[in-house]
Structure 1
Amino acid sequence: MSATKRIAATAVLAMGLASVPALAETPFYEGKTIEVLINYSAGGPTDVEARLIARHLGKHIPGNPTIVARNRAGAGGMIGMNYMADVVRPDGLTVAIFSPPVFTEVLGDAGLDTRFKDFIWLSSLAVPQICYVRRDTPPGVEEPADLLQAETFNASGIRPTSTHDIRMRLSLDVLGVDYNYVTGYKGLAGASAAVLQNEAQYSCGSIASYRSSVVPSMVETGIAMPLFYYAVVDATGNDVLNASLPDIPTFRDYYRSVHGENPSGEVYEVFEAVNNLKTSLQRGSFVPLGTPDEAVDALRQAWKALETDEEFLSAYEEAFQAKPVISHGEETMALIESLDDIDADLVKFLSDYIAAGSDN
């Protein structure tokens, strides 16, 4: 073959190779199994919501990994946090979908072995709490405003350090009602069961718990009524309304309706600070530091894809009669970093407040 023909043949070969599509890299998760870890017991609102998310998350992860869910519950969510920190390898094969024990870290609980910023956060869900009361609370609660005239009633909680209990107590103290704080029930299900059995007359729950348990057993049967929900208050001082709760007032709207003015004072300011952070981080998903970038990117993209996944959105709304409010990656990381900026006076107030509640 002449030099001219060799050059021509080489050029043709090069053109042919250039036209062959580059081989796609094998997706990180191809042929792998992801274990979704849940830090509360099976059947509770955290578990139900996490498992629903897990069922739909996998289809958006390149490589179509197998997804399995497992519970590691206990100590108000701390056992799961410690397990993620102390046991789980940063290989991208274990993903937490938790109810993060936010103020357990803020208050420096010795039972927590880790810091929230020692993880890579993928996403978070904002979930408000809805408070409700039995209608037969003496002398009778015929409409929401009647709570202020109620005789001493029992408010059921989970544990003094839980944000459920802290917010419940703070809001009732801001309202100025007469109540007994009764805690130690097993999760939101236990707290609502206490109201159903009339051991307590008042409690609060997430949308998942309220819609799936409280509404069918107490609201639809006429035993109880919703009072208000805790809305996040934005930087301008306005409530961030939840579109899924159009018929229930926010706590501030309720307070204005019964007191004729906006809530104010130190106790309310503490309530607002606690609620803003906890509501925004009611659910959180994360992996250990050191997890490969390919895994983090794939998981974050999968979370983002849920927002336009009609099948997921329909299943979520059917389960909770609410739309998911999801934040992603950097936005969630900013919330985690804000934990370091919480005012020391607020932490001292909360420590004393929890101690007083524990003495009841």
Structure 2
Amino acid sequence: MATGGAMAQDLSGKTVEFTIPFSESGGSAQWANFYAPLLSGALPGNPTTVVRYRPGAGSTEGANWFQGQQDRGDGTQIFGDSGSTKFPYLLGDPRVRYEYQEWKPVLASATGGVVYLPPELGERFDGDMDDLKDEPYLYGSQGATTLDLVPLLAFRMLGLTVDPVFGVEGRGDGRLMFERGEANIDYQTSSAYLANVQPLVDDGLAVPIFSWGALDDAGNIVRDPTFPDLPTFKEVCEATEGCETEGVAWDAYKAFFVAGFANQKTIFLPSSASQEMVDAYTQALDEIIAADGFAEASNEVLGVYAQMTGDAAIEATRQATTISDEAKQYVLDWLQEDYGITME
């Protein structure tokens, strides 16, 4: 039961529009529809919560629309983004007219991912990539400015020679290339890995080598709770000659890792929302997360990952939407030099 300042933010009889910049299919729709009824039950006044879809331009169209809704701070308008919304912002895509620093995060949801190799290469992995640098790699990619930016940058930092085959429709197609022997390095997000790659591992057809990791409440990279026995990319980088976990390349990697995985999806209130309204949402979400049965339901739908609120959500969002000028330029130069991609 909401109390104190949260009670003053009574939403009885109102409808909360939970807008996402995507279509009705896909992970973001699944995430939003998971939380919508829970918010209805936990927010003061038990408002009706409905999910609205505003797809277009890789999610920038919907985010631009939300930027124009910043006067709707009465608690009836919330917005959910994803990594594909954060990446154009970090890269300075000219289509972006939204400003994350004006929005108020109330929930940050993480996911993870695992990199794996065929057994003839995976059996040579011993915690670093030093003995695997001379191999030529093929990787099925959706594009260098999609979430694949994270693995492509990680492979570069490790000193691997990776030839991406651009144009695959989704990570599932990248996995199929791996299964057919057309690719010899791949990664899948956690849910897809568990469903489709773990059977390959069990049959001796794939070897996982590292996960991207997760963030703790202080913003430090730690082992992925879904794959606690796998080292993180940070651990492998530290063990690999020439790979540094400080400096401009690392700053660039971490910014996009957080935006793409450690805080992939975020719920925002508009800038005009009062602190009392932010507190009402935070309290409701805290109650949702603490409720009996939430962990089991969340793990099934979202994976075994932190659902961060309060200061943790604010810090995760700050990291996911902030990049130094030097790190940004490093990525822009790399994209142009290696792939001929410019942000124009």
Which TM class, normalised by the smaller chain length?
0.7 to 0.9
1:215 is matched with which residue?
Answer: 198
Q: CA deviation at 1:140?
A: 5.1
Please tell me whether the aligned partners of residues 157 and 165 of structure 1 are also in contact (alpha carbons under 8 angstroms).
yes
Aligned pairs for 1:331-342 within 5 A: 331-337=312-318, 342=323
Residues 1:175 and 2:166 are matched in the alignment:
no
Please tell me whether the aligned partners of residues 212 and 320 of structure 1 are also in contact (alpha carbons under 8 angstroms).
no
Q: CA deviation at 1:193?
A: 4.6
- State percent identity of aligned pairs: 24
Give the secondary structure class of the aligned counterpart of 2:293.
Answer: helix
Which of 304, 310, 316 in structure 2 is aligned with 1:329? 310
1:350 is matched with which residue?
Answer: 331
**TM-score between the two structures when normalised by the length of structure 2:** 0.78
Give distance in 2, aligned partners of 1:92 and 1:234.
29
Q: CA deviation at 1:299?
A: 1.8
Q: CA deviation at 1:106?
A: 2.4
Give the secondary structure class of the aligned counterpart of 1:310.
Answer: coil
Please tell me whether the aligned partners of residues 217 and 312 of structure 2 are also in contact (alpha carbons under 8 angstroms).
no
2:39 is matched with which residue?
Answer: 57
Going from structure 1 to structure 2, the CA distance change for 1:186 and 1:303 (only over 3 Å counts) comes to farther
Residues 1:72 and 2:68 are matched in the alignment:
no
The answer to which of 243-252 and 44-53 deviates more is 44-53
Give distance in 2, aligned partners of 1:280 and 1:63.
32
Which of 166, 170, 175 in structure 1 is aligned with 2:149? 166
Q: CA deviation at 1:168?
A: 0.7
Aligned residue identity for 1:358: Y
Please tell me whether the aligned partners of residues 103 and 161 of structure 1 are also in contact (alpha carbons under 8 angstroms).
yes
2:3 is matched with which residue?
Answer: none
Going from structure 1 to structure 2, the CA distance change for 1:234 and 1:292 (only over 3 Å counts) comes to closer
Please tell me whether the aligned partners of residues 288 and 294 of structure 2 are also in contact (alpha carbons under 8 angstroms).
yes
Q: CA deviation at 1:209?
A: 3.6
Please tell me whether the aligned partners of residues 252 and 328 of structure 2 are also in contact (alpha carbons under 8 angstroms).
no
Q: CA deviation at 1:68?
A: 2.5
Q: Which stretches in structure 2 are left out of the alignment for 5+ residues?
A: 1-5
Q: CA deviation at 1:286?
A: 0.4
Give distance in 2, aligned partners of 1:340 and 1:318.
28
Number of positions where the alignment pairs a residue of Structure 1 with one of Structure 2:
331
Aligned residue identity for 1:157: S
Aligned residue identity for 1:253: E
Give the secondary structure class of the aligned counterpart of 1:103.
Answer: helix
1:14 is matched with which residue?
Answer: none
CA RMSD of aligned residues (A): 3.7
Q: CA deviation at 1:166?
A: 2.1
Q: CA deviation at 1:228?
A: 0.7
Give the secondary structure class of the aligned counterpart of 2:114.
Answer: strand
1:128 is matched with which residue?
Answer: 112
Give distance in 1, aligned partners of 2:104 and 2:20.
16
Give distance in 2, aligned partners of 1:34 and 1:255.
44
**TM-score between the two structures when normalised by the length of structure 1:** 0.75
Going from structure 1 to structure 2, the CA distance change for 1:95 and 1:143 (only over 3 Å counts) comes to farther
1:86 is matched with which residue?
Answer: 68
